[in-house]
Amino acid sequence: MGSTSPSQKLAWHCNRLLLRQAVDPGEDSRAAAVEFCFLFLVLLLILVGGLAFSIGLATYLAVHNAANAGALQLMPSTSMLSGSMPYTSAINAINTAVAPVLTITHLTVTLTVNGRPCNSDSTCQTALSAAALKQVSVSVSYPCRLAVMNIHYAPNGCAFKSTIVVPLQ
> What are the pLDDT digits (tens) for 104-160?
999 999 998 888 888 898 888 888 777 667 788 999 999 987 777 777 777 787 889
Residue 69 resides in a domain: yes
On the CB side of 113, CA atoms within 13 Å amount to 30
Residue 158 resides in a domain: yes
How much is the pLDDT for 142? 93
Query: Looking at residues 86-101, what average pLDDT do you find?
Result: 89
Residue 75 resides in a domain: yes
Residue 51, domain extent: 7-168
Task: Give the residue ranges of DSSP H helices in 99-133.
Answer: 121-130
Residue 2 resides in a domain: no
Residue 145 resides in a domain: yes
79-90 residue pLDDT tens: 555 557 888 889
5-32 residue pLDDT tens: 666 666 666 566 555 555 555 556 667 7
Whole-angstrom distance, CA of residue 66 vs CA of residue 139: 9
